[in-house]
């Protein structure tokens, strides 16, 4: 494990997230991993922050709203099959970790684990969340929500960032 400054790896991480990364959440006995393709990394409220978007209909949404943290694992080696499975199956019906062959490892600063893969890992504590306002999501965003299945944006202060080879 090599500690990283989150802002020094953000450009590379964001390029990779476009092709998929793993968002992992845990609350009580409930654990879920999902694929994300969107994120923001930067400075807000004088803190290093990673923001993720979770649709309100997703199984992850119910878990993340009962927890206070999340992790994002950005792979540095191909894991397309696992990303595809975690992006197309619901944790309500499928144990995605078992089905994908992914393993988890304990995080250092948060309860939610990381996905045990070579990559850059962000451990985040939620400092704010905000649901999208459909009235403000017009124009070019409206076609992304044909079923009015809007996202909630979770802003996580990056408590730890590191790379595993």
How far apart are the two ends of the chain, measured CA to CA in Å? 7
Q: List the CATH number of the domain containing 10.
A: 2.30.110.10
149 pLDDT higher than 80: yes
The pTM score is 0.95
**Residue 136 pLDDT grade (very low, low, confident, very high; cuts 50, 70, 90):** confident
In 3D space, the residue among 21, 154, 150 whose CA is nearest the CA of residue 76 turns out to be 21
Dist. CA 59–CA 45, nearest whole Å? 29
Dist. CA 19–CA 1, nearest whole Å? 23
**Residue 142 pLDDT grade (very low, low, confident, very high; cuts 50, 70, 90):** confident
What's the angle, vertex CA 120, arms to CA 117 and CA 125, rounded to 5?
A: 105
Average pLDDT of the residues in 85-95: 94
The domain of 139 spans: 2-164
What are 126's strand-pairing partners? 156
135 pLDDT higher than 90: no
Amino acid 137: pLDDT: 77
The per-residue b/e assignment along 81-102, b for 16 or more CB within 10 angstroms, e otherwise, is: ebbebbeebebeebebbeebeb
Burial of 163 (C-beta count, 10 Å sphere; 0-12/13-18/19+): middle
138 pLDDT higher than 90: no
pLDDT in tens, 18-74: 999 999 999 999 999 999 999 999 999 999 999 999 999 999 999 999 988 999 999
Amino acid 67: pLDDT: 86
109 pLDDT higher than 80: yes
127 pLDDT higher than 80: yes
| Domain total of the chain | 1
The Cβ of residue 137 has, within 10 Å, a number of other Cβ atoms equal to: 15
The mean predicted confidence, pLDDT, of the chain is: 95
């Amino acid at each position: 494990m090599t500690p990283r400054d989150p802002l020094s790896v953000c450009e590379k991480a964001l390029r990779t997230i476009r092709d998929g990364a793993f968002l992992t959440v845990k609350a009580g006995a409930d654990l879920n991993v999902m694929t994300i393709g969107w994120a923001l990394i930067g400075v807000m409220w004088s803190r290093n922050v990673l923001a993720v978007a979770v649709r309100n209909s997703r199984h992850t949404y119910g878990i993340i709203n009962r927890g206070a943290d999340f992790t994002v694992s950005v792979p540095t080696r191909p894991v397309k099959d696992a990303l595809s499975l975690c992006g197309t199956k619901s944790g309500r019906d499928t144990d995605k970790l078992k089905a994908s062959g992914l393993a988890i490892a304990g995080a250092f600063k948060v309860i939610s684990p990381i996905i045990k893969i070579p990559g850059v890992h962000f451990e985040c504590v939620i400092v704010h969340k905000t649901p999208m306002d459909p009235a403000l999501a017009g124009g070019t965003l409206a076609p992304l929500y044909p079923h009015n299945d809007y996202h909630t944006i979770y802003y996580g202060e990056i408590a730890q960032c590191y790379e595993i080879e």
